[in-house]
Structure 1
Amino acid sequence: MNNSNVSNIKYTPALFTSKHLLDYTAIDKDMDFSLVIFYTYCCIVKLIAHNITDVRLLTNDLFNNHNRQIIPKLDMKAPVNVSMSFSLISVYELDVKNQLLSTSVAFKITWKDEILIWNPADYNGLDQLTVTLASIWKPDVIMLNSVSSQKKLSPNDDDDNYVTITRDGFIEWWVYVNLKTHCNVHMTNYPFETQMCDINVTKSYLDDQSEILQSVDDSLSLDNFVPNGEWQIFPIHSFDQIFFRSNRKISGLQWRIKMKRGRTFYTWNFLMPSISLSIADCFSFLLPAKSSDKLGLSIFVFLANAVLIRLFNDSMPAISDDISLFGVLLWVNILVSGLVIVMNIVITSLFYCKSPKIICKCCDDFTECCKCKLLTKCCKPCFEQEVKKKERRTFELSEFQNAQKEKKEYASIKHGDISISINEGIDQTFIHHRGMKIQLGTIADFLDVKERIEWSDVSRNIDIMATLVIFVAYAILYAATLSELLHE
């Protein structure tokens, strides 16, 4: 090897990088190749300088006289700032009846331990250390609205939890936990509602002079969220919250989860059956009164609504501050179906009634209004037929009035010793038998036998009117309720 060439090479303590490796072409061609191999070896040794010995040495130096019970602050008057980041992984269930939210979440908790600081140069560049949580001081963090007995993020045995410590004392702790927290469920729009559930975090024994909890982001993304088939999750927001403990104000954090329930399941399992039963309830009036299925259909609808309400109530809490509008709709449906049963009973009773004399004038007028001839006066043939009918009845009545004035017997039917006569005017009809005189009725009944209103006509007209009234009532009820339930 040419010593003059070797002496011209300048050695630097800097790390031998890939750039230096590429510059080897600038070295004199007479340089021995073994020198290049030496530089390469130094580079590899530098990159993997620290080993298990350095880790042991650093661990012994940091934790030889370390007390994890002491708050890691050099100035004990200043609080420890604990930053928390919340990530929602999955929503298992929202138990509306018990008002419990089951979730899987991840917390990223960071703080600075001013005692656990070192110089990486003293440990061959070692600038990061992973230890168990049991070795260091951990923040005082509890889940305030957790319903489980263990409200802490980790159990008392912290040997299963690991944290990462950097050379400047910053500690990073990831906590994955399944939570079951209380959620104040609002039942007004159930089951087509949007719920707001909070996860509250505060301190159990430290005050604000010793520890401060702060959120990293006010609005959190759902990049790691596993979609839920029942709930649509909106971006989560965090808030600074004040909680009360022993008549003292303690600061904390609150993460609000906004969830919108999917409507497909409840539409096909509750809403559509309810609408179908309501339609069947309306058309039960169109069945003939003499049919046994008329009342049977009404009773079936009533019992089906009762079963539907039972299934709906089983998914709701027994006591709630507000009332579900959909539950009110189901209760109104069962009340209307009960009213339909009563109406069908009355209609059936009127159909079999045998006393047409007690039909009031309003029933007569109502029957006339329900006739096609009066409702379709635009139809000229029908209208002309009605006029001719009235003229004929006027002529017949005038003829009998003349007979009343002349005091003549209008008609007489004889068969053996029995005779039927209409005499003493047009308002009385008698049967004569062996000296006995029996009054049958008025001549008006005799003349209008074809036009007389029967109870069967009244019951049928009530059926038609009841169908229209109940259908309109159901339509208004569903339109008002659904517009409120589905309102965003």
Structure 2
Amino acid sequence: MAAAYIVIVAMLLTAYGQNNTFWENKRLHKHLEGNMDDKIRPLINQSSAIAVLIDVHLQAIQGLNEKEQQLESTIAIACHWNYETLVWNKSDFGGITGINISPKDAWIPELVLSNSVESMFLLTENRENTNNIAVMSNGDATWFTGGHLRTGCHIDITKYPFDTQTCTITISKTVSDSELYIRASSEKVTTVLYDENSEWSLKRSVVKTRALYEYITFLDIHITLARHSLFYTLNVVVPVALLSFMTVLCFKVPVASGERLSYSMALLLTFVVLLNLISESMPRVPKHISYLQLYVNCQLTIAFVITTLSIMLVNISYPKDEADIPCVVKLYFWYYNYRKRRQTVNLDSSEETAADKKSDRKPNTQPQSGTETVSSLDRSSVIHRIENVLFWGFMAIFICSTIMFLILVTI
């Protein structure tokens, strides 16, 4: 019986407390109703300025449009200020420490998104659809606003796809006067509820207060994003590098096989098709040219030069007469003969034994009068030497250009 009595008494006290809280809340709202005004600042001394502290909560990055240079983000902004006209004694109203009031009934700071791509986006333009204001017994108020924002962002694609972009969201007040002062309560942006973007990773986010004049203040939210480059590396950079390497290997295809020209032309056409696919995927920013564009065009130029040289080498390998051979190749033939004569002279003047001289020395079948012709030379051997020189030369160009590209996009 005693236990049942205690339970009944507790239920009665709970019910009484709930009724008392309801009536006390109603009485408190009626008490404060006369002190609310949505057009007058809640200050007893209207000649002083009201300070609004702002906390920024970054929730998501929807995307970064390089062509339009726009950032789409979802941000919640927590505003803190003090209502001097909405203060009450907790003991007089059943211990109520805080209430919620509608923004259409009380004053809220008029904030504007300065760099919005839409027409003068006001963070407080619709009071009826915004969140309620939480007011404590000492007058401290907290109000959340924000939403899906679309702001301008200066894009630099020089290091695409290994680029890092920094976008700024600027918040200011609608009127440049001394009645309202806004500043960030902390330089850190809260990212507890941040939803990671599939293309961009959040590297840094800070808030800084910028004062243009004494009473004209701005809040700059700096968001630094780094692009996820693995997809572009596997689908753009690696295919271009492999195709460039295969192009250099053209000089290792024997001319006698008859497949060198078809091999070179096939790689050149593949390069052109790949370049069209890459150009469609790359961001179009007229003011900037990425290192990747320069790298791809450099490799395309190398492929064009290699194809041209391959055609010339095939033509030299099967000339109709000696006049069809270029002067540069004839000069190399002359240098080739000159070196062979020098080697023969050095062998004759050496102090080796007669047996070694007999075994190492080769009969000199070349004319000594300097009137030797190209047809008397081993044309295939000379062309093979030229191909080796071109192979290692273009291989060095390919390696150096690739290393330079990787250094430029990663520093």
TM-score bracket, shorter-length normalisation: 0.7 to 0.9
Structure 1 residue aligned with 2:227, among 231, 237, 261?
261
The answer to whether the 8 Å contact 2:111/2:124 transfers is no
Query: Aligned equivalents of 1:369 and 1:46: distance in 2?
Result: 115
2:243 and 2:267 in contact (8 A); partners too: yes
The equivalences for 1:394-433 within 5 A come to: none
Where does the alignment leave 5 or more consecutive residues of structure 1 unmatched?
Answer: 1-31, 399-425, 428-441
Query: What SS class does the counterpart of residue 62 from structure 1 fall into?
Result: helix
Distance 2:76 2:221 in 1: 12
Q: Please say if residues 305 and 330 of structure 1, whose CA atoms lie closer than 8 Å, have aligned partners that are also in contact.
A: no
**How many percent of aligned residue pairs carry the same amino acid?**
20
Residue deviations 1:94-115 (CA, integer Å, cap 9, x gap): 1122211112222111111222
CA distance in 2, matches of 1:301, 1:33: 92
* Equivalence for 1:388: 361
CA distance in 2 between partners of 1:140 and 1:68 (Å): 11
Partner in structure 2 of residue 355 of structure 1: 321
**TM-score, normalising length: structure 2:** 0.83
Aligned pairs (5 A) from 1:84-233: 84-149=54-119, 151-207=121-177, 209-233=178-202
For 1:467, the equivalent position in structure 2 comes to 391
Judge conservation of contact 2:114–2:120 (CA < 8 Å) in 1.
Answer: no
Letter in 2 for 1:263: S
Which structure carries more relative contact order (alpha carbon 8 Å, separation 6+)? 2
**Residues of 2 paired with 1:195 and 1:233: CA distance?**
10
Tell me the secondary structure at the aligned position of residue 136 of structure 1.
coil
In structure 2, the residue corresponding to 1:219 is in which secondary structure? coil
Q: Return the letter of the residue paired with 2:286.
A: I
1:479 maps to 2:403: yes
Structure 2 equivalent of residue 52 of structure 1: 22
Q: Distance in 1 between matches of 2:7 and 2:248?
A: 97
Q: Deviations over 1:24-79 (max 9, x none)?
A: xxxxxxxx999988986796478546433333332233224632111221122221
Q: Please identify the structure whose Cα radius of gyration is greater.
A: 1
Paired residues in the alignment total 394
**Aligned partner letter, 1:341:** T
1:329 counterpart = 2:295: yes
Is 1:452 matched with 2:370? no
Counterpart among 286, 292, 309 of residue 252 in structure 2: 286
| TM superposition shift of 1:93 | 1.3
Deviation of 1:458 (Å): 4.2
After superposition, the CA RMSD in angstroms is 3.5
Contact map agreement 1:79 1:212 (CA 8 A) in 2: yes
The separation in 1 between residues aligned to 2:259 and 2:101, in whole angstroms, is: 79
Q: Which residue does the alignment assign to 1:28?
A: none
Does structure 2 retain, via aligned residues, the 8 Å contact 1:145–1:200?
yes
Aligned AA (1:171): A
Q: Contact 2:168–2:220 at 8 Å: present in 1 too?
A: yes
Measure the CA separation in 2 of the matches of 1:385 and 1:64: 124
Change in Cα spacing, 1:299 to 1:138, as seen in structure 2 (3 Å) is: farther
For residue 335 of structure 2, the aligned residue among 365, 368, 372 is: 365
- C-alpha distance in 2 between matches for 1:332 and 1:109: 53
Aligned to 2:49: 79
Matched, 1:317 2:290: no
Cα 1:38/1:280, change in 2 over 3 Å? closer
